[in-house]
Amino acid sequence: MNALVAGMPHKQQDIAQSVQALLGQMTLVEKIGQMSQVEASHGYAPEYLGDRLRAGLIGSVINVVEVDVLNELQRIAVDESRLGIPLLIGRDVIHGFKTVLPIPLGQAATWNPTLVEEGARVAALEAAKSGVNWTFAPMIDISRDARWGRIAESYGECVLLTSELGAATIRGFQGDDLAANGSIAACAKHFAGYGAVESGRDYATTNIADTKLRNVYFRPFNAAVDAGVSTLMTSFSDLNGIPATGNRYILTDVLRGEWGFEGFVVSDWDSIRQLQIHGLTENDRESAYAASTAGVDMEMAGDAYSNHLPGLVEEGRVSEESIDDSVASILRIKFELGLFDNPYTDPESLPEFANERALQVAKEAALQSVVLLKNDHGALPLAADELSSIAVIGPLADARYEQLGTWIFDGDEELSVTPLQAMRTLLGDSVELRYVRAMENSRSRVNDQFDAAVNAAHESDAVLLFLGEESILSGEAHSRADIGLPGDQVELVRRVRAIGKPVIAVILAGRPLTLSDIVDEVDAILYAWHPGTMGGPAITDLVFGKASPSGKLPATFPRVVGQIPIYYSQKNGGKPPSKDTVVHIDDIDTFAPQTSLGMSAFHLDTCFTPLFPFGHGLSYTWFGYENIRVSANEISIGEEVVVSVELGNHGDIEASEVVQLYTRDLVGSLTRPVKELKGFQRVRLAPRETRTISFKLHTDELAFFGRDGKRTVEPGMFHAWIGGSSDAEQRTEFRITEHR
């Protein structure tokens, strides 16, 4: 037994020894077979994959979820191949399986890691029941451009929130024991920097300074490794001139060298062969060389490895030792999943799809994800006993499929309960619902139903407008240059508003939308994202006051698309904007001289602030923050300070508030953001209750990666805020000194 194995826990020792024993029996071709994942959704897979399985040429299959088929594939691999190595069964289980949860961006709006973990557990159990043992989630790319379609799959713009929710998702998928029935291996993606693609165009180039990579884009992945994630996936994008799939710096030097990652890295879909398209390599052979030597252990849905790695090893350009390292990592995960002991799935041993618990979690996730953006004059909640009729208008009020969102290969549309359905169930015959779809879909510019919508509004006591974007308008390869409400929705809002009735907008979308065209045309806005299977009941409970909104924005909402990128943790710059320094385009004289005196960083044609800031979200009560304080005005490096505030529920209903702690490092060897989220708590208060909310803040949490690439805590003055959004006003300060 070598020293490395001897130092492992007993179970890990057994696995390490088993891996090495198996490796010693494998031919080079069989090893490379373990590094190959194939698409298996074209007909009856055992027929056309059988011979390759028997020859040991496949390590994983993707995109088949028929349990009988998968059990047969496993049987062939285990019983009819020379070494009997079971398969990894991959599937994109992004936000639920049969039971669909809110899109990840919506789940991020809950600011509730426990609930996110429960949602991932529901998804894992349903996926495992279908034979899946490996999912390509969570996506933990920091996403600061709402034009990017894949922001829907993300947890938003914040490093801390993304890190916390990514780790929670991993725990939900993998459980305490990967070998336990119902646990599946997670895959943190896309490493690294994918969320920073130019212009929000999917697959485009990213250019990110190393200090920003380390302080922002790497950190959720480091947290995922610390949380024990089994696998990582590379990004499609070019990173600083070297596409991530061929980038040895991030995959070997950082991921394995610095962070000690022991799982394996899989490419994104055919991204190894795409290295040639990027212009990094001349052909598939060179692409296989670049990816394998960079640190990609398994190829997804391509054949560069199977076609070219044997020859590259024979030539001596790729060492068999590096192949062994990759295969050992893959085999280790298979052993940890318990596949060598039981490769087969018994569906009866796992809970039924869409069981009561699954639907309960889906509803609670939807309920906590909805963000009340505005609520003028207490327009919400609606009092059903005071209304005789409500106009329900819009293309997304009764759209079962659309409310499920992007990436729902296995979602059951028949389980989906829409807002219109839920309102009919809740209200029965007590309130008349006048439903007018008004538009065939969210993109429609045919407005021949608008008169009917206006008439319904005229005859009703209040109007619920269900607006937004269909599920197909967000997700992979579905980026948008204009992120306003599509189609003729703005015109619909204006025509309904002209009737003079209370108008509440409920917006279902896969990203932050620019709402400046309608924000002043409605009395209240509930932002529901794509809320999943139980979106309708959740929205209905909120509209009629059976629950109070508690969601908070995980991403900044710009006023206009030209403000992008706009996010809460931007840097100050040398000329930060303020109310005193900005000039509007309409205020410029015709013959005004060009000058920079007194100017600052802003756009002439819009406000310098966002429409809604990161962390924003209202309630049906009013929460007040008072008396912020610190436990010490000065602490040394290595110590902690406690930041506290008095939180009061000044209303008449019990409700939840997400309390947020932000800090600013005023002076650093590298300039630091104006605010960084350092903690959050979801707190529920009774009417008129006041409670002290405290955060422990260790100096390690204020560290950053400096010019030398090393993580450091620097002495100096820090500001701290506690509040209900990134616009928190309650501020205090403390100083960090060198060690005493």
Q: Tell me the average pLDDT of the chain.
A: 96
Question: HSE-up of 628 (CA within 13 Å, CB side)?
Answer: 20
Cα separation of 486 and 483, whole Å? 8
Q: Where does the pLDDT of residue 4 fall: very low under 50, low under 70, confident under 90, or very high at 90 and above? A: very low
Cα separation of 84 and 339, whole Å? 11
Domains, the chain, ordered by start: 623-737 (2.60.40.10)
Q: Where does the pLDDT of residue 460 fall: very low under 50, low under 70, confident under 90, or very high at 90 and above? A: very high
Q: Which two tokens stand for residue 422?
A: 């839920």
Residue 593 has pLDDT above 90, yes or no: no
CA angle (175 as vertex; 169, 176 as ends), nearest 5: 135
Angle between helices 320-336 and 304-315 (to 10 degrees): 140
**What pLDDT, on a 0 to 100 scale, did the predictor assign at position 10?**
64
Residue 490 has pLDDT above 70, yes or no: yes
Q: What mean pLDDT do residues 74-91 have?
A: 98
Rounded percentage of the chain residues whose pLDDT exceeds 90: 94
Q: What mean pLDDT do residues 537-543 have?
A: 98
Question: To which residue do tokens 């906590």 refer?
Answer: 368
Q: Which two tokens stand for residue 52?
A: 């390759």
- Closest by CA position to 707, among listed 676, 669, 650, 657: 669
Q: Which two tokens stand for residue 447?
A: 């407005």
* Residue type (1 letter), 288: A
Cα separation of 246 and 304, whole Å? 13
Q: Which two tokens stand for residue 263?
A: 């799982």
Cα separation of 390 and 407, whole Å? 33
Q: Which of 92, 268, 398, 412 is catalytic?
A: 268
Q: Where does the pLDDT of residue 5 fall: very low under 50, low under 70, confident under 90, or very high at 90 and above? A: very low
Question: To which residue do tokens 């399985």 refer?
Answer: 53
Q: Are 166 and 220 in contact (CB under 8 A)?
A: yes
Q: Are 97 and 123 in contact (CB under 8 A)?
A: yes
- The tens digit of pLDDT for each residue in 633-666 reads 999 999 999 999 999 999 999 999 999 999 999 9
The alpha-helical segments, DSSP class H, found in 337-477 are: 356-369, 419-427, 450-458
Angle between helices 304-315 and 284-294 (to 10 degrees): 80
Q: Which two tokens stand for residue 39?
A: 């698409």
> Measuring CA to CA, how many Å separate 471 from each of 123, 317, 347, 386?
20, 46, 30, 35
**Antiparallel, parallel or unpaired: β 264-266 and 299-300:** unpaired
Residue 277 or residue 594, greater confidence: 277
**What pLDDT, on a 0 to 100 scale, did the predictor assign at position 579?**
84
**What pLDDT, on a 0 to 100 scale, did the predictor assign at position 8?**
52
Cα separation of 205 and 202, whole Å? 9
The long-range contacts involving 567-570, CB below 8 angstroms and separated by at least 24 positions, are 567/144, 567/157, 567/614, 568/157, 568/158, 568/613, 568/614, 568/615, 568/674, 568/675, 568/677, 568/726, 569/157, 569/158, 569/159, 569/673, 569/674, 569/675, 569/676, 569/677, 570/673, 570/674
Q: What mean pLDDT do residues 192-210 have?
A: 97
Q: What mean pLDDT do residues 530-545 have?
A: 98
Residue 673 has pLDDT above 90, yes or no: yes
Read off the pTM: 0.97
Query: End-to-end CA distance of the chain, in Å?
Result: 46
Q: Are 192 and 181 in contact (CB under 8 A)?
A: no
Residue 12 has pLDDT above 90, yes or no: no
Question: To which residue do tokens 């998804």 refer?
Answer: 123
Specify whether 652 is catalytic: no
Q: What mean pLDDT do residues 54-68 have?
A: 98
DSSP string, 508-559: E-SS--B-TTTTTT-SEEEE--S--TTHHHHHHHHHTTSS------SS-B-S
Cα separation of 84 and 88, whole Å? 13
